[in-house]
Amino acid sequence: MAAVMETIALTRHFGGLRAVDGVDFRLTQGQIHALIGPNGAGKTTFVSLLSGRIPVQSGQILLEGKEITHLPAHARVHKGVAYTFQITSVYPRLSVFDNVALAAQSRSPKDVAAQVAEALAHVGLTGMEALLAGTLSYGHQRLLELAMGLALRPRVLILDEPTQGLAAGEIEGFKRLVRSLVPQTTVLLIEHNMELVMDLADQITVLNFGQILASGTPAQIHGNAAVQDAYLGGHHAAH
């Protein structure tokens, strides 16, 4: 299975804090890969390094075998790496259409209206084009952010805490939506909701203190004693 994105000995320290400490990571083409770990494990720093929002201290980042370690964030977007939910907040005073059009245009100025229609259809917001983004419900605003990410036509879509604040009833729809993105898009999901992760992910990587504690299928991670100790405090082991 081809790696669409890979890191080699990726490192970023902040003062004495080893936020990301020599991480070797592989994102397989066409999969949903979840990145989990306790608070402070380095997840946000790691994806910020992948997306180019903060500079790498040492190590390498490869996209389809080509080095992108020092490319700025906007250049990575052009190469197909989209990072959504932490960065693409909606523009509340613009219409739904214009929010998605801005993202589509930044990737390619051709056929913007068609790209917007496709992205909105994918997330189920067709018919809401004229509404001001700020008037949408919270759940719909999150879907709009996802549409903005999809309009970038990414090879890799990084979703950072996408279900935070969603109602239980919205989560099933979100799962269907994410499943519909693969295998055309490879999804890297940073998520606290373990039930969702176990249900949705093909592969799971567990970060702890800036290092990879374990990597494997949901079943392998679920049965891993070190993960249970670090992450679940041992008391969920019986489930």
Neighbours of 69 (CB within 10 A): 17
pLDDT at residue 187, rounded to an integer: 96
Fold classification of 1-80+154-239 (topology level): Rossmann fold (3.40.50)
pLDDT at residue 167, rounded to an integer: 84
Q: Are 228 and 73 in contact (CB under 8 A)?
A: no
pLDDT at residue 232, rounded to an integer: 62
Helices 112-123, 96-107: crossing angle, 10 deg rounding: 120
Digits of tens for pLDDT over the chain (239 positions)? 789 999 999 999 998 888 999 999 999 999 999 999 888 889 989 999 999 999 999 999 999 999 999 999 989 988 999 888 654 578 999 999 999 999 898 878 889 999 999 999 999 999 999 999 999 998 899 899 999 999 988 999 999 888 888 888 888 888 999 999 999 999 999 988 888 999 999 999 999 989 999 999 999 998 888 888 876 654 443 33
Q: Please state, in angstroms and as integers, the Cα–Cα distance from residue 119 to each residue in 69, 85, 134, 216, following that order.
A: 29, 16, 19, 31
* Alpha carbon distance 8, 11 (integer Å): 9
Q: What angle do CA 1, 191, 36 make, to 5 degrees?
A: 65
Q: Are 34 and 204 in contact (CB under 8 A)?
A: yes
Sketch the domain layout of the chain as residue ranges: 1-80+154-239, 89-153
Instruction: For tokens 């964030």, name the residue.
Output: 73
pLDDT at residue 109, rounded to an integer: 85
Task: For residue 27, give the DSSP letter.
Answer: E
pLDDT at residue 16, rounded to an integer: 85
pLDDT at residue 142, rounded to an integer: 87
Tokens representing residue 237 in the block:
């082991």
For the entire predicted model, the pTM comes to 0.89
Neighbours of 217 (CB within 10 A): 13
* Alpha carbon distance 206, 36 (integer Å): 5
Q: Please state, in angstroms and as integers, the Cα–Cα distance from residue 162 to each residue in 12, 72, 159, 191, following that order.
A: 24, 24, 6, 7
